Amino acid sequence: MTQPITARFQLQFANFQLAVDLSLPGAGITVLFGHSGSGKTTLLRCIAGLQRAPQGFLQINGNTWQDSESDFFLPTHKRSLGYVFQEASLFPHLTVAENLQFGLKRIAKSSANVNLQQTLELLGIEHLLSRMPERLSGGERQRVAIARALALNPEILLMDEPLASLDAKRKQELLPYFMRLHQELHIPILYVTHSQQEVAQLADYLVILAEGKVVATGSLPETLSRLDLPLSQDQQAATVWEGKIIGHELDYHLTRAAFEGEMLSLPAIDAEIGSPLRVQIFARDVSIALEAPKASSILNVLAATISGLVDDQAGQSLVQLKVSKQFLLALITRKSRLLLGLQIGMAVYVQIKGTSILN
């Protein structure tokens, strides 16, 4: 099946080369992940047309934006996109309302976002309309910048590390808005970040870049659990499971949730039965036993099969486990791995000591 977004670029700088060939989904959040210098921002700028790759082909929902073969390049201002920069980049000489109107005045009325009011509510900025940008907090500025981009009802939303310039507190303040965007927008969002936490919280689909090349692409749970990728070779290595709330145990302050047939007990969540949720399970919080523990304080014990193994240089082993259709990572000592005689294909039990709920 052809994907709605096709992007191929080749670009040469003095000491950097970008060479990518990507097909991306037409909905949800696709995170472009990589360290600084990996080319993720350059890729986003090529898609926006802010940077012109000498060789490039870009198609969004059947509309060609660039085709260097036929020397075609649609300038940025003619592309139906929304762009959020690392710094909000509001026009300092205009009020919030005028900033929001800036793009609206320049597009046909028919293609404007008829739900501008909803967008303002979604981002919680109705009360800021008459303010000048200099009188907004960093988080407020960034919310206005997002609303300004969405007001144009673009076919794609591009975000370049929109949280990177904010302190931890502001980040926490802004993340819920991103999650709401995720649920309520039906356009694809390309989101550039180098933060693993943002990846875990926001990504549906992940593109990992290094030195200007695509290292891996795939759904979030799949890419996070791959042992050959840098994400798993980190103390923060974790997998993400997506599921639904199936019940509450109010007496114990617990919530039960189902993930592809597997059930986990989680700290109580104030949400209705049936609500979707996403949990992050850190590899360091997962331990392995050969037999089902008969008596253990750990609630979440699941049957699993070892599907991958890799030792690091520091006495630790990373184990990839298959639990029904999902994958888990466990970070254990190499000594334990040898004592238990763990091998690929073995049936084991995993104990999950802790989970963190992402929404």
Q: Does 152 bind other proteins (CB under 8 A)?
A: yes
CB of 89 to other proteins, least distance (A): 4
Residue 137 near other proteins by CB under 8 A: no
**Secondary structure, 3-state, 45-73:** HHHHCCCCCCEEEEEECCEEEEEHHHCEE
Count of CA atoms in the C-beta half-sphere (13 A) of 264: 25
The residue within the footprint of other proteins, chosen from 34, 133, 188, 243 (CB under 8 A), is 133
Q: Give the CA distances from residue 305 to residues 280, 322, 326, in Å, rounded to whole numbers and listed in that order.
A: 20, 5, 11
Q: Judged by CB under 8 A, does residue 327 bind other proteins? A: no
Contact (Cβ atoms closer than 8 angstroms) between residue 353 and residue 283: no
Give the nearer residue to other proteins in terms of CB position, either 85 or 241. 85
Taking CB under 8 A as the rule, does residue 89 contact other proteins?
yes
**Closest distance to other proteins from the beta carbon of 62 (Å):** 20
Residue 194's CB is within 10 A of a number of other CB atoms, namely 16
Angstrom distance (rounded) from CA 193 to CA 173? 17
Query: Of 75 and 247, which CB lies nearer to other proteins in the complex structure?
Result: 75
Under the binding rule (CB under 8 A), the answer on residue 103 touching other proteins is: yes
Report the site for other proteins in 39-78 (rule: CB under 8 A): 48-50, 75-78
> Is position 107 an interface residue for other proteins (rule: CB under 8 A)?
yes
Residue 120: CB atoms within 10 A of its CB come to 22
Q: Of the candidates 13, 16, 72, 91, which one interacts with other proteins according to CB under 8 A?
A: 91
- What values do phi and psi take at 321, rounded to 5? -125, 145
Q: Work out which of 8, 40, 148, 337 binds other proteins, going by CB under 8 A.
A: 148
> Measured from the CB of residue 169, what is the shortest distance to other proteins in angstroms?
17
CA 286 to chain CA mean position, Å: 23
Contacts (Cβ under 8 Å, ≥6 apart) of 135? none
Interface residues with other proteins (CB under 8 A) are 48-50, 75-78, 81-83, 85, 87-93, 102-103, 106-107, 133-134, 138, 141, 148-149, 152
